Structure 1
Amino acid sequence: MDVFSCSIILYFTIMKVPEDWDLPSEGNDKLCARFSRAVYGTNPGMPYRLYTPKTNDRVPLVVYIHGADAYGLDNESQLSMHDIGTVLTKDSWQAKHPCFVLAPQCGQGSASFHEQATETICRIASIIVGSNPHIDTRRLYIYGYSAGAAKTFVILKKHPGLFAAAFAICGATDRLGIEKLADVPLYLMHAQDDTIVRASYKTPHDPDPVFLGSSDLYEEIRDSSSDITYKSFPVGYMKEHYGINPHCTWVPASEDEEIWEWMFKHVQESGG
Structure 2
Amino acid sequence: MKKIILYLISCVIFSFAKAQELTKFKKADFIKGIDTLKYRILYPENFHSNMKYPVVFFLHGAGERGNDNQKQLTHGAKMFLTDEFQSKFPAIIVFPQCPQNSYWSNVEIETINGKRFFNFLSGGVPTKSMDLLLDLTDQIVKQPFADKAKIYIGGLSMGGMGTFEILRRKPKTFAAAFAICGGDNVANVKKYKNVPLWIFHGGLDDVVNPQLSYNVYHALKAINHTPKFTVYPKANHNSWDSAFAEPELIPWLFSQSK
Q: CA deviation at 1:225?
A: 4.4
Indicate conservation of the 8 Å contact 1:66/1:85, yes or no: no
Indicate conservation of the 8 Å contact 2:217/2:226, yes or no: no
TM-score, structure 1 normalization: 0.75
Q: CA deviation at 1:267?
A: 0.7
Q: CA deviation at 1:263?
A: 0.7
Q: CA deviation at 1:231?
A: 0.3
The CA distance in 2 between the partners of 1:28 and 1:90, in whole Å, is: 11
Closer/same/farther in 2, CA of residues 259 and 176 from structure 1, 3 Å limit: same
Indicate conservation of the 8 Å contact 1:184/1:227, yes or no: no
Q: CA deviation at 1:158?
A: 1.0
Closer/same/farther in 2, CA of residues 37 and 110 from structure 1, 3 Å limit: closer
Partner of 1:88: 80
The answer for unaligned runs of 5 or more in structure 2 is 1-13, 107-124
Aligned equivalent of 2:240, options 235, 246, 250: 250
Q: CA deviation at 1:215?
A: 1.4
Q: CA deviation at 1:178?
A: 1.7
- Paired residue type of 2:129: A
Partner of 2:94: 102
Partner of 2:114: none
Indicate conservation of the 8 Å contact 2:157/2:180, yes or no: yes
Indicate conservation of the 8 Å contact 1:51/1:100, yes or no: yes
Indicate conservation of the 8 Å contact 2:66/2:99, yes or no: yes
The CA distance in 1 between the partners of 2:148 and 2:226, in whole Å, is: 20
**Aligned partner of residue 187 in structure 2, secondary structure:** coil
Q: Is the strand fraction higher in 1 or 2?
A: 2
Partner of 1:31: 21
The answer for unaligned runs of 5 or more in structure 1 is 1-24, 201-212, 239-245
Aligned equivalent of 1:178, options 165, 170, 189: 189
Aligned equivalent of 1:142, options 131, 137, 153: 153
Partner of 2:228: 229
Partner of 1:197: 208
Identity percentage of aligned residues: 29
Q: What is the alpha-carbon root mean square deviation over aligned residues?
A: 2.0
The structure with the largest alpha-carbon Rg is 2
Q: Say if 2:64 is the partner of 1:70.
A: yes
Partner of 1:123: 135
The CA distance in 2 between the partners of 1:227 and 1:176, in whole Å, is: 16
Runs of 4+ in structure 1 off by over 4 angstroms are 110-114
